[in-house]
Structure 1
Amino acid sequence: MEETLRRQDASAAVTHLGWRFLLGTLRTGVAVGSLSQAAEVATLAVTTCGAEADDHLRVDLRPSRVTLTLQSPKQATVTSHDVDLARRLTAALSDVGRQTDPWSTQLLEIAIDALDIAAIRPFWAALLGYTPEADTDVVLIDPQGQGPTIWFQQMDQPRPQRNRIHFDLCVPHDEAEHRLSTALSAGGRLVSAKDAPAFWILADPEGNEACITTWQGRDD
């Protein structure tokens, strides 16, 4: 039986395999030396997943890297079946001398603060050609899977002195501290860590804010 997994359980099940849980998906990267090698890795991944590839597997090919993503689309999250596929893919890659590299994965979201989400969401959907995500009124997704997810954060009052569109960068949970220290060393400022490790709020030298996020600290 296909079991939907909590964030913590999904992460724990695949971390030792070289995969990471990011925004309801399992992801890993595979280093390659050419687009031809990337195609070979993609073919291996599709063959390993078999008939389930179309439903569960997404592959992004670049000349230096292949990114593999697993998710159960009907549940829009990770299930025990995705974990099993991750195990099979890791073993198949190892058999041909390929190693998974989870730190090469990250996901970017754009957050828009709004007083009236229902009023502004149609504009952004039309402008970008995005569609609403199922079962939520605050998320837009790219139906082609190319652009970042956009989500709307409810404001309780106007904030004219604060940027109202900011980036949320979701990174592997064991990469977050390094990314945080790197951003601070590059001139950033820590605005708040009260919700860490779910997210840290940072600002650039002019006060524009961004968040580093992980799956941690979000389950009850």
Structure 2
Amino acid sequence: MDEVLSRREASEAVGDDGWRFLLGTLRTAVPTRSMAESAEVAARAVAVCGDDADAHLRADLRADRVVLSLQTLGLAAVTARDTSLAGSISAAVRDLGLHTLPVAGVQLLEIAIDALDIAAIRPFWKALLAYADEPGSDGPEDAIVDPAGEGPAIWFQRMDEPRPQRNRIHFDLCVPHDAAERRIAGAVAAGGHLVSDSRAPAFWILADAEGNEACVTTWQGRDPE
């Protein structure tokens, strides 16, 4: 059950239950009508996970929704145990007359920093933000993460040469694979423009009216077929 799944395996295992694979996690939301109902949903999810709750489940409770995520935290990856738990949680939520859905909150934000010497700048950002190495990381250029699981992950992209006329910090927004085109269309309609789709569906590069760039990303297009 601790076998790490591929992106496609993880996505296909849970899609019918309303979960989406994002950045090494499974994520879903349960629309609710009160904080009390949200607490009931979270309690049911914890009960379903049993002894696995601490090592796999995270929950964010609001008065109108609960956002649930599953990951084998020690590996920072999705395993067969996570997909099994997702199905069990969805069934338990249905017993409450509610549903797990890929709606508000089912996205993850990363910040990408371009650098010529990643090892030289990574310690600064780690110390400044009080971040930690991502579980399972094994090198001085890997991503850093908020140990509380609240702030966005930060990853570092190597540059071949200086780019003084282009922004070197940009947002990467990972969205459900079936929501990407809708999100891009909304950003373009709001005054942005598409810079490049040459790497789609792994990522699209967009920019605002002044050229500040951001990427919309999905799990697709990253693995050899």
TM-score (normalised: structure 1): 0.97
Residue 186 of structure 1 aligns with which residue? 190
Match 1:200 to one of 169, 183, 204: 204
Read off the aligned partner of 2:34 and give its amino acid letter.
S
Tell me the TM-score normalised to structure 2 length: 0.95
What is the CA–CA distance in structure 1 between the aligned matches of 2:30 and 2:3, rounded to whole Å?
A: 27
- Equivalent residues in 2 for 1:1-220, closer than 5 Å: 1-104=1-104, 105-133=106-134, 134-136=137-139, 137-220=141-224
C-alpha deviation, 1:145, in angstroms: 1.0
Mark the runs of 5 or more structure 2 residues left unpaired by the alignment.
Answer: none
Would the aligned equivalents of 1:173 and 1:214 in 2 still touch at CA under 8 Å?
yes
Q: In 2, distance between residues paired with 1:131 and 1:48?
A: 29
Secondary structure in 2 aligned to 1:68?
strand
Which residue identity lines up with residue 22 of structure 1 in the other structure?
A: L
In structure 1, stretches of 5+ residues that fail to align are none
- How far apart, CA to CA, are the structure 1 residues paired with 2:195 and 2:171? 14
Q: Which amino acid letter does the alignment assign opposite residue 150 of structure 1?
A: I
Tell me how far 1:15 sits from its aligned partner: 0.5
- Following TM superposition, by how much is the alpha carbon of 1:41 offset from its aligned partner in structure 2, in angstroms? 0.7
Matched residue type, 1:107 = L
SS of the residue 2:103 aligns to:
helix
RMSD: 1.0
Q: How many residues align?
A: 220
Letter in 1 for 2:178: D
Instruction: After TM superposition, give the deviation of residue 219 of structure 1 in Å.
Output: 1.1
What is the CA deviation profile of residues 91-124 of structure 1, one whole-angstrom value per residue up to 9, with x for unaligned ones? 1111110111113200000001111111111111
Task: Give, in whole Å, the separation in 2 of the partners of 1:107 and 1:122.
Answer: 23
- Runs of 4+ in structure 1 deviating by more than 6 angstroms, as ranges, are none
CA drift of 1:35 comes to 1.4
Partner AA of 2:4 in structure 1: T
Of 111-120 and 133-142, more deviation after overlay is shown by: 133-142
1:206 aligns to what SS in structure 2? coil
Residue identity in the other structure for 2:138: D
Structure 1 residue 87, shift from structure 2 partner: 0.7
CA distance in 2 between partners of 1:102 and 1:32 (Å): 14
